[in-house]
Amino acid sequence: MVSGTVGPKVGPAQDAEIGMLDETLHQDLDWSVADKKRAAYEMISDAMAEAEAEGIERAIVTQAALFAVFTDLVSTYGETAVAALAERLPQRLLAGEFTIDRRLQ
């Protein structure tokens, strides 16, 4: 049983086995930040594709997604911090940071 929970008492061997199972579970769930970002990107990309499949034009879906992102960022970090982020976007865009299928010359 996990420490701090109510349940049947177990012996040391069983307790070690359960702890190992819990640790394995935690390791499986312990994603890196990069893994979480990739998973989040895939979820958002899938949602956008689903909206397109429902007949909403890509430009409208993209604009709505940007609006949702910026309103969430402003709610979380405030206008000043988000404005500073937005000021850096042109350099990041031109550097190819958001280009997935970049052609090398």
Full domain range(s) for residue 41: 33-94
The larger pLDDT score, comparing residue 8 to residue 83, is at 83
pLDDT at 21: 41
In the chain the first and final C-alpha atoms are separated, in Å, by 59
Tokens of 95: 């550097």
- Residue 10 lies inside a defined structural domain of this protein: no
Residue 39: which of 31, 28, 49, 48 has the closest Cα?
31
- Residue 14 lies inside a defined structural domain of this protein: no
- Residue 57 lies inside a defined structural domain of this protein: yes
Geometric angle at alpha carbon 65, from 86 and 75, rounded to 5° = 60
CA distance 96 to 2: 47
- Residue 100 lies inside a defined structural domain of this protein: no
pLDDT digits (tens, 9 = 90+) for 16-39: 443 434 444 445 556 788 899 899
Give the 3-state secondary structure of residue 31: coil
pLDDT digits (tens, 9 = 90+) for 51-97: 999 999 999 999 999 999 999 999 999 999 999 999 999 999 999 99
Alpha-carbon distances, residue 25 vs 7, 21, 28, 57 (angstroms):
19, 6, 5, 41
- Residue 53 lies inside a defined structural domain of this protein: yes
Q: What is the count of structural domains for the chain?
A: 1
